[in-house]
Amino acid sequence: MRIVITALLFFFLLIFNYMGAVGRMTSTNQINGMPEFNLGRISERERKAVEKGTHRRLAFIQSLIAALIYSGVLYFILGLFIS
């Protein structure tokens, strides 16, 4: 049961972290496409990726790492309560 919950959360986090990372790098709202300038700092590596056009790959890697970390934490917390 906990693997199903963790897998669902993993895919949810992967999708929304990816959308957020792409939006932050390009300074656009991913829902309506309007420019947003208060989404967070952009590193030099991210700025170069946007210029080269490889920012979507970088955003996917960032969101994959974040989703793995959060899902792993949830999996071990659920292990304490669900056996």
Q: Which domain holds residue 23?
A: 2-81
Cβ(17)–Cβ(62) below 8 Å: yes
pLDDT digits (tens), the chain, 83 positions:
899 999 999 999 999 999 999 999 999 988 898 998 888 889 999 999 999 999 999 999 999 999 999 999 999 999 999 86
Residue 22 CA to residue 63 CA, distance in Å, equals: 10
Given a contact cutoff of 8 angstroms between Cβ atoms, the answer to whether 10 and 78 are in contact is no
Residue partners of 25: CB distance under 8 A and separation at least 6: 42, 46, 49, 50, 55, 58, 59
Give me the sign of the Cα torsion angle 68, 20, 56, 42: negative
Q: Looking at the 3D structure of the chain, how many domains does it have?
A: 1
Q: Which residues are bridge partners to 43 per DSSP?
A: none
Can you give the pTM of this predicted structure?
Answer: 0.86
